[in-house]
Amino acid sequence: MRTLISTLLTGLLLVTSVAWSAVPGDIRQTGFVYCVNGNIASFNPQLASGGLIVDTLAAQLYDRLLDVDPYTYRLIPELAESWEVLDNGATYRFHLRHNVPFQTTEWFTPSRPLNADDVVFSFRRIFERKSAWHGVNGGNYPYFDSLQFADAVKSIKKLGNYTVEIRLHRPDASFLWHMATHYAPVLSAEYGSQLTKADHQELMDRQPVGTGPFMLSEYRTGQYIRLARNQHYWKGLPRMSQVVIDMGAGGTGRLSKLLTGECDVLAYPAASQISVLRDDPRLRLTLRPGMNIAYLAFNTRKAPMDRPEVRQALALAINNERLMESIYYGTAETAASILPRASWAYNNEARVTEYNPEKSRAQLKALGVEDLHLNLWVPSASQAWNPSPLKTAELIQADLAQVGVTVTIVAVEGRFQEARLMEMTHDLTLTGWATDSNDPDSFFRPLFSCAAIASQTNYAHWCEPEFDETLHKALLSQQLASRIDYYDRAQTMLAEALPVLPLASSLRLQAYRADIRGLVLSPFGNASFAGVHRVNGEEN
């Protein structure tokens, strides 16, 4: 994994030969600066397990077959203008939009618009292990691997130039929602053929080509990404000619850039900064419920975390109310389930874990667990579900110290976290999950299925065949009531086994300069920047 990441990052530096300097000073005449803390390991969201490429860039570079309305939470057409569900949910037929051009970049000039070949190419790469493209750049597709889609898909066929049919081995009521996530972009088959002839297939994921509103123009590792307007975007010309994604500062540094005007938009401001943001007349703040969860994962493959009784005892020591006050400042709900309350499958009978350090201490002693030393791995950057991971870790460290447990905090860079967690040396990890799907399957299988251990999204390394079977049964029915019953059972099983301790479901926050218009903050992730514009500046 480390070797793959290193190779990818090396390749990314070759995207352009433009000399790297500071973010250009004239950006406000033609675009805007979006400040976010993050890293890039690939420009293809198929290969990602989250992060900046999925949360921000995918919606700019690519389109999907389907989209999710950020206000009604319903599936809506995107590249597929219509679709059919057949065989009780085992067959899906997509009718594609005509005259959708691919981006013309320095490294690729398309000769035709999007058609069925591109959809077949994009999904065969993920779902068909025998595909020549499946193993390019590692062959890992974390989101879909965690769902075992390579085993679930029976066939992908082109029925005509603008019709594609995907057959599954058995019904899956969540399938369309997974096709609407940013992990499922449509790539160019023609670009793939060009790279195959040149024997440079690896460039597919480093020099991206999509149908989205913006194209990759420049990239400087750890500093910024510049996106240029797609002049032929099928939905209409984007309002701004460029966007700069500034990754060069974290925490208060990003806030300072917003206050001084170096940033136009600040993604994921810390909850503690809200009063400053609200009091400044030059700024605006948007808050929306988020489909996300912050949680503490126990490494269930390592003693004594392999014992549910120990996990339950440790959970009693964590003061979740204090986390709400000190980390979220009223911008999150205490989590009683791994599902956010906004989910249609949320179990209203779920209860937040009791805070009782005396009971915790007594239970640990009764279990023979004394003088316990644990390593807690924590991402160093702010996340959509947790604006201050390191501070959260320090509060958990203090809570566990009061019951005699010594915790060592290990800060982990985001792009190396997945690889290091697979080494199995951690005891605990503070992490979370955000999805751009309204289907509960997008929480359960990526985080807790047995398959998700190998795909590096199951940080607890918890595998329970009965739980997996419960999830699969929930997918066989198109009846919502039946699915809710199965997901209630799944939430009960998680509460009993407690492979992870749910902490909070956070509001999505976004701050921006008062002259910026057209930003859409979605509960499912960042939306397209195509409509963003400045009210008192040039929009050429």
Are residue 318 and residue 359 in the same domain, yes or no? yes
Q: Are 533 and 310 in contact (CB under 8 A)?
A: no
Report d(CA 78, CA 185) in Å as an integer.
11
Domain count, the chain: 3
Element holding 375 (H helix, E strand): strand 372-379
Q: Which of 155, 171, 206 is the last residue of a domain?
A: 206
Report d(CA 432, CA 508) in Å as an integer.
14
Are residue 311 and residue 460 in the same domain, yes or no? yes
* Cβ-based neighbours of 216, under 8 Å, separated by 6 or more: 15, 43, 61, 105, 207, 208, 225, 227, 228
Confidence band of 420 (pLDDT split at 50, 70, 90): low
Are residue 432 and residue 330 in the same domain, yes or no? yes
Using alpha carbons, select from 344, 289, 64 the residue that is nearest to residue 176: 64
Q: Which pair of tokens denotes residue 406?
A: 């010594």
Report d(CA 204, CA 125) in Å as an integer.
12
* Cβ-based neighbours of 130, under 8 Å, separated by 6 or more: none
Confidence band of 424 (pLDDT split at 50, 70, 90): low
| Neighbour count for residue 172 (Cβ, 10 Å) | 22
Instruction: Report the mean per-residue pLDDT for the chain.
Output: 89
Report d(CA 247, CA 12) in Å as an integer.
15
Q: Stretch 320-343: mean pLDDT, rounded?
A: 91
Least confident of 179-188, 205-214, 439-448, 530-539: 530-539
Burial pattern 495-523, b for ≥16 Cβ within 10 A else e, equals bebbbbbbbbbbbbbbbbbebbebbbbbb
Which of residues 290 and 130 earns the better pLDDT score? Answer: 130
The single residue listed with the structure tokens 């320090």 is 394
Residue 524: CATH number of its domain: 3.40.190.10
Q: Which of 19-33, 70-84, 358-372 has the highest mean pLDDT?
A: 358-372
Reply yes or no on whether the pLDDT at 315 is more than 60: yes
Confidence band of 457 (pLDDT split at 50, 70, 90): confident
Are residue 238 and residue 303 in the same domain, yes or no? no
pLDDT in tens, 396-406: 999 999 999 99
* Bridge partners, residue 215, by sequence: 228
| Chain centroid offset of residue 272 CA | 24
pLDDT in tens, 56-75: 999 999 999 999 887 788 89
In this prediction, residue 252 carries a pLDDT of: 65
Are residue 230 and residue 256 in the same domain, yes or no? yes
Are residue 419 and residue 523 in the same domain, yes or no? no
Which of residues 332 and 13 earns the better pLDDT score? Answer: 332
Q: Which pair of tokens denotes residue 13?
A: 């530096």
Report d(CA 363, CA 344) in Å as an integer.
35
In this prediction, residue 418 carries a pLDDT of: 54
In this prediction, residue 398 carries a pLDDT of: 98
Structural domain of 281: 1-60+212-288+508-540
Q: Stretch 408-417: mean pLDDT, rounded?
A: 74
Q: Residue 277 in 3-state DSSP?
A: helix
Q: Which of 153, 174, 206 is the last residue of a domain?
A: 206
Q: 116-127 and 189-197 helices cross at what angle (nearest 10)?
A: 70
Q: Do the bridges between strand 80-86 and strand 332-334 make them parallel or antiparallel, or are there none, so unpaired?
A: unpaired
Reply yes or no on whether the pLDDT at 525 is more than 70: no
User: What φ, ψ does residue 316 adopt, rounded to 5°?
Assistant: -65, -20
Least confident of 17-31, 118-132, 313-327: 17-31
Reply yes or no on whether the pLDDT at 24 is more than 60: no
Are residue 486 and residue 343 in the same domain, yes or no? yes
In this prediction, residue 523 carries a pLDDT of: 74
Residue 205 sits at the vertex; the CA angle it makes with 202 and 207, to the nearest 5 degrees, is 95
pLDDT in tens, 217-228: 999 988 999 999
Are residue 71 and residue 56 in the same domain, yes or no? no
Confidence band of 421 (pLDDT split at 50, 70, 90): low
Sign of CA dihedral 165, 167, 172, 175: negative
In this prediction, residue 12 carries a pLDDT of: 40
Least confident of 82-91, 121-130, 434-443, 467-476: 434-443
Confidence band of 1 (pLDDT split at 50, 70, 90): very low
Q: Which pair of tokens denotes residue 313?
A: 């005892």
Q: Stretch 510-535: mean pLDDT, rounded?
A: 89
Residue 5 sits at the vertex; the CA angle it makes with 429 and 300, to the nearest 5 degrees, is 25
Reply yes or no on whether the pLDDT at 524 is more than 80: no
In this prediction, residue 538 carries a pLDDT of: 46
| Neighbour count for residue 328 (Cβ, 10 Å) | 24
Q: What percent of the chain has pLDDT over 90?
A: 72
Are residue 373 and residue 446 in the same domain, yes or no? yes
The amino acid occupying position 7 is T
The single residue listed with the structure tokens 């490429």 is 53
Report d(CA 406, CA 8) in Å as an integer.
38
In this prediction, residue 419 carries a pLDDT of: 54
The amino acid occupying position 428 is L
Start-to-end C-alpha separation, the chain: 42
Task: Give the 3-state DSSP-derived string for 143-197, with helices as H, strands as E and coil as C.
Answer: HHHHCCHHHHEEEEEEEECCEEEEEECCCCCCHHHHHCCCCCCCCCHHHHHHHHH
Are residue 187 and residue 198 in the same domain, yes or no? yes
Confidence band of 422 (pLDDT split at 50, 70, 90): low
Residue 493: CATH number of its domain: 3.10.105.10
Reply yes or no on whether the pLDDT at 459 is more than 70: yes
* Cβ-based neighbours of 184, under 8 Å, separated by 6 or more: 46, 64, 65, 122, 123, 144, 178
Are residue 359 and residue 422 in the same domain, yes or no? yes
Confidence band of 8 (pLDDT split at 50, 70, 90): very low
The single residue listed with the structure tokens 């392999």 is 306
- Spell out the alpha helix ranges (H) of 24-68: 27-30, 52, 58-61
Reply yes or no on whether the pLDDT at 2 is more than 50: no
Q: Are 163 and 95 in contact (CB under 8 A)?
A: yes
Q: Which of 172, 206, 240 is the last residue of a domain?
A: 206
Q: Stretch 504-526: mean pLDDT, rounded?
A: 87
* Cβ-based neighbours of 179, under 8 Å, separated by 6 or more: 64, 65, 66, 92
Least confident of 9-18, 117-126, 362-371, 440-449: 9-18
Reply yes or no on whether the pLDDT at 21 is more than 50: no
pLDDT in tens, 161-191: 999 999 999 999 999 999 999 999 999 999 9
Query: What's 352's DSSP letter?
Result: P
Are residue 202 and residue 222 in the same domain, yes or no? no
